[in-house]
Structure 1
Amino acid sequence: MEVLLLLALVGLAAVLWFRASGWQPSRAEFPMQGALIGAEDGAVDFNALRATGADFVYIEASQGSEGRDAMFPRNLAAVTDAGLPHGVVHAYDPCVPAGRQAANFVTIVPRDPEMLPPAIALSKLASECGDPIVEAGLESELTTFINQVEGHAGQPVVLKISPEFEAEHGIATRIERNLWLERDFVQPDYGGRPWTLWGATSYLRGESGSAALRWVVVQP
């Protein structure tokens, strides 16, 4: 009996995994869909990614004051050659001064009016810095960084906010920028206002490679 139950559970898990790996939000409801790509995805074939259904791509570019995605130069060239609309993501580090992070961003991200609005990924908590002054000044420093990135890009940024970051800092309702929220399979509501981009699944597998894709949709 226990063996049969175990086999049933394994079979159910396999079915659920198969369904999750092929799931995308409805195209009728969300016509514009794309992917988030970084070094963890390896050498992505962007033409194959388009065949999977990507209408746009965001590529990870920089992190903090010194971090740079190892695949960024290759990905930027490849996605440009493929003709896919694309933007970049900077992972913001609240423990590092805004000016140093902006210098890192503008050094490696070209000023290109054809690019999509840059996204600022907010996931590391200021409380992890171990300095109450840093935590208290988070909004001010983040605003400084946003202003410098927007001056370089020539357009407003998108705030890519994790549930944990929003729960601790409540940035979505304090800084008026378009939101990129994340929750697998279910539309997120933790921003306190409508989202523009939704990280809808991190399980999708397509023709671009064997690794799961981080799939993103646009609010119509």
Structure 2
Amino acid sequence: MVDRLNFSEFLFCINTKPLRVLDVSIQNLKYIKLDLSESNKELQAVDVSSSSKLEIFITNHIKKNDGIVAFGGYNETRTIYKRSNHFNLPSANERNIHIGMDLWCDANSPVFVPLDAIVHSFKNNANFGDYGPTIILKHEIETVEFYTLYGHLSLKSIEHLQVGQVFKQGDQLATLGDATINGDYPPHLHFQIIKDIEYYNGDYPGVCSKTDLNFYLKNCPDPNLLLKLEL
């Protein structure tokens, strides 16, 4: 069995070519790196509590770099979560470190399955600042079980879904939602790998505190191990 220390290497070796959760026709060079960290001075001039203003910033960044999709965010400390009590409950450690990858593109963009899978669970996580409609898939490769999470989807993505439903690599899984349903964010996919799903159903933390970071970095390795957007 692959343990957590070797899990990242296992993921990287699953496929020599990039796997895709968005349209396969989008070339790597059209994926533009985006920094939404608290250290980005350019972002400090943007009201990130406003989904519309943040969307303008992201859209302009993509256009300026002649891209189609903006991506990034793994192990990134962000200020955007300060607006939501979902991440900052009284007397709790602040959750502000993002542990998935965000892929920013148009609402209603199709989302595809990167590897053969079955549906583990799904739910509309409707808290302000949360995932909105979310799907978790279970994968088994060479007896190794792991999970992938897809957040900020459209409501129709989960309307007729069933636990245990089978998807093959390349099948369309969902479409992206807009700010009215996705937790009040510009349209994007939160894609996350999870080794041990624990007791969660239709949800799993995508943002953690500094106190818990070591655990989550081991349990949720960098999604770029599969997507290979930076080769």
Both structures adopt the same fold (TM-score exceeding 0.5): no
Q: Which has the higher strand share?
A: 2
More helix by share: 1
TM-score by length of 2: 0.30
